[in-house]
Amino acid sequence: MPCTIGFELFMMTGSSEPVAKAIPAMTSKKPEDTPSLPATEAFDPRFAGIDHLPVTDALQMQLMAQAEAIKAVEAAIPDIDKAVKAATEALRNNPRGRLIYVGAGTSGRIGIQDGSELTPTFNWPTDRVAYVMAGGLKAVLKAVERAEDNTRRAEVAIIRLKVKPGDVVIGMAASGTTPFTIAALKRARILGATTIGIANSADAPLLDAAEFPICLNTGAEAIAGSTRMKAGTAQKITLNMISTQIMIGLNHVYDGLMVDMRATNEKLMKRAARMVRHVTGCNAKEAEMALNAVQGRVKPAILVALGAGVTSAHAALEHNDDNLRAAIRALNLSPPKP
């Protein structure tokens, strides 16, 4: 995947053109300590003595903590709902709109993990996803602790990406106080992008910076301050839900099937054939023939297997915003009932 690297900046897009230049080194003051720590930094007395418990007991305690991540996500569903609806609308109305993930440390890596799966799963164009990671490419594999304090580089990254209305910028930080991520979201919001802020502490500045704040109130960690644990789990679940629901809203899913998937290897070609068979009730040979007739694309193959001609299948999808369900109705086709 093409990428451009600055001293502390890492951005990846689907374009082979550079999107950023090396930015001169600069000093960045660390924010003053505040009297009240974020909840993610607190000490949880339930885990006192975890270091001398039997392994099984310690594992059970950690699992208990991870389960709290799910509860935190559940409590945030109303705010996730608002964010998803706004993001879907922005991307639907702007064919060049992008999903842009911003973060530092664990939060940034979770964003990269989520975005990198959109193309193989949903055939989301590579030039419609981008990442801004504090600390650059090396921070994906190794912690670059001071990078998260540099607000100037965050703003420059957003500007050089030419963020604009129609883009959706998602910033995550467990504490919600990360200067890099806050600065990036603020700049993106000024430039007219739809901004979503995800933090694991209530009253976090990151939540104030975003148009659509999502608080995943996971509280203190089993290992105090180690937000790669349940805070990271809650972030991962939430990003999975957001990106998946956006793709559902943009017609990339039919009956729980990834019908825009790119069949790029043998495993995925078999999956494509299974999807055609599942929806249409045809046999393996018919599924293979339908896929071959449309260069392996699942949606038109389903229409062909249901009886449409190749030209009619493509036309129906084009006239119905690539919505498979609408195309089936338009062609008066009748998939077998489950």
**Backbone φ and ψ of 82, nearest 5°:** -60, -45
CA–CA gap between residue 184 and residue 151 (Å, rounded): 8
**Backbone φ and ψ of 215, nearest 5°:** -100, 120
CA–CA gap between residue 126 and residue 129 (Å, rounded): 6
CA–CA gap between residue 236 and residue 220 (Å, rounded): 17
| Catalytic residue chosen out of the listed positions 68, 117, 211, 286 | 117
Q: Pairing mode, if any, of strands 168-173 and 129-134?
A: unpaired
Could you tell me where the DSSP H helices lie in the chain? 55-75, 77-93, 105-116, 118-122, 138-141, 151-160, 179-190, 205-209, 230-249, 266-280, 284-293, 298-305, 310-319, 324-330
| 148 flagged as catalytic | yes
Strand order in the sheet with 194-199: 3-5, 9-12, 129-134, 99-103, 168-173, 194-199, 212-215
Q: Is 131 helix (H, G, I), strand (E, B) or coil?
A: strand
334 burial class (0-12, 13-18, 19+ CB within 10 angstroms)? exposed
CA 193 → CA 21, 98, 134, 213, distances in Å? 22, 10, 20, 14
- Write the DSSP symbol of residue 222: S
Mark residue 276 as left, alpha or beta (left: phi above 0; alpha: psi -120 to 50; beta: remaining).
alpha
Active site residues: 117, 148
